[in-house]
């Protein structure tokens, strides 16, 4: 499958393949380029290490990933990885079966650099280039990341001083609705998607889609009602629908006129920390401009995961890998990467 990056570079199935590979008439410069590319590729795609085998084999296997039966027994090893057998459905499997690492053709360790780039807000294109992977691999892995983080924000509750504001993301050009005269709707229209951003004094962050173009009492309560602690102090711009949170959660309220605070310097703006998150998120989304808007919440889950603790990037990678190893998230390539799938 051939893919094209935003810079007009075509990525084939493997970035190790060069057009003159296999030729007996390579020039000296082509020989040099080939040996260098293959050296880079081999350095990026090492064999499964003893440390990885120990990690995989340490995973607790209590049931069959196929039928959920607890009637499982150990069934030898393959390439150092413990295998299991289900006495009910008769399937064999290993600790990675049913996780995003299932059917891996490359070591789990290669995810370390991919995640490092992703958590530093790299695009799929730059990450694929740096990791010597095909663009399609980066896109597929991103979908796997989404699956692990699907419910990440479910239990995040902001408390104390809670800063809250909304921002809006445009639909794709092909999805934009126009007025009868052919002109675009102005202001906050049905061509926008609302995302609520909240942050508390402890640094906890939520980014949640309200699944509407303009906040309403219903959408605001449904989206945020379970994510703010009772009797917290809400610092906001006076969006009309916020009253449902203030009344329903017994919040105290501190309101700032959005038109007035825009005139302030960043250090004087009480909602500057929220504005910084909005700006960061929109820059990241611009790097994925062709994304399917149905995946907007998936991107927001990822950004929330990046911005929340642990703040050390290596501790964050450690947290993610352990979440993935202990999360039954089977993501098949053919299901999510068919040609009919939007970007």
Ordered by start, the domain boundaries in the chain are: 60-93, 157-307
**Residue with the larger pLDDT of the pair 207 and 259:** 207
Q: What is the largest CA-CA distance in the chain?
A: 78
Pick one of 1.20.120.1200, 3.40.47.10, 3.30.420.10, 3.30.365.10 as the CATH number of 157-307.
3.30.420.10
pLDDT in tens, 116-140: 889 998 888 887 777 667 778 888 8
pLDDT in tens, 274-290: 999 999 999 999 888 66
Number of Cβ atoms within 10 Å of the Cβ of 330: 15
**Exposure of 208 by Cβ count < 10 A (0-12 exposed, 13-18 middle, 19+ buried)?**
buried
Tell me, letter by letter, the H, E, C secondary structure of 262-274: CCCCHHHCCCHHH
What per-residue confidence (pLDDT) applies to 6? 38
Which residue in 72, 64, 24, 112 sits closest to 324, CA to CA?
112
Residue given tokens 């991107």 in the structure block? 299
**Exposure of 280 by Cβ count < 10 A (0-12 exposed, 13-18 middle, 19+ buried)?**
middle
What distance in Å separates the CA atoms of residue 9 and residue 152, rounded to the nearest whole number?
A: 34
Per-residue confidence band for 10, with pLDDT thresholds at 50, 70 and 90: very low
- For the whole prediction, is pTM greater than 0.95? no
Joined tokens for residue 250: 């017994």
User: Residue 232 half-sphere exposure, CB side, CA atoms within 13 Å?
Assistant: 26
What per-residue confidence (pLDDT) applies to 176? 60
């Amino acid at each position: 499958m051939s893919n094209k990056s935003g810079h007009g570079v075509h990525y084939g199935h493997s970035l190790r393949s060069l057009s003159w590979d296999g030729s007996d008439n390579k020039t000296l410069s082509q020989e040099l380029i080939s040996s260098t590319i293959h050296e880079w590729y081999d350095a990026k795609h090492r064999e499964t290490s003893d440390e990885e085998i120990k990690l995989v084999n340490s995973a607790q296997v209590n049931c069959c990933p196929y039928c959920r039966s607890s009637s499982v027994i150990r069934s030898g090893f393959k390439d150092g990885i413990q295998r299991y057998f289900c006495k009910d459905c008769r399937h064999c499997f290993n600790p990675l079966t049913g996780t995003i690492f299932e059917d891996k053709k490359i070591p789990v360790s290669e995810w370390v650099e991919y995640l490092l780039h992703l958590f530093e807000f790299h695009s799929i294109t730059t990450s694929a280039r740096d990791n010597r992977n095909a663009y399609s691999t980066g896109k597929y892995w991103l979908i796997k990341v989404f699956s692990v983080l699907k419910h990440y924000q479910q239990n995040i509750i902001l408390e104390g001083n809670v800063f809250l504001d909304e921002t809006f993301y445009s639909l794709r050009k092909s999805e934009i609705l126009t007025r009868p005269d052919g002109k675009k709707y102005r202001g906050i229209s049905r061509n926008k998607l609302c995302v609520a951003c909240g942050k508390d004094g402890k640094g906890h962050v939520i980014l949640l889609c309200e699944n509407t173009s303009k906040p309403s009492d219903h959408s605001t309560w449904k989206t945020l009602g379970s994510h703010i602690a009772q009797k917290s102090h809400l610092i906001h711009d006076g969006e009309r629908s916020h009253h449902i949170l203030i009344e329903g959660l017994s919040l105290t309220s501190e309101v700032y006129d959005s038109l007035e605070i825009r005139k302030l310097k960043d250090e004087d703006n009480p909602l500057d920390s929220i504005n910084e998150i909005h700006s960061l998120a929109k820059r990241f989304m611009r790097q994925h401009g062709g994304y399917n808007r149905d995946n907007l919440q998936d991107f927001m889950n990822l950004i929330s995961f990046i911005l929340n603790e642990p703040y050390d990037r290596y501790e964050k990678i450690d947290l993610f890998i352990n979440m993935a190893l202990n999360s039954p998230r089977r993501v098949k390539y053919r299901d999510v990467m068919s040609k009919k799938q939007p970007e």
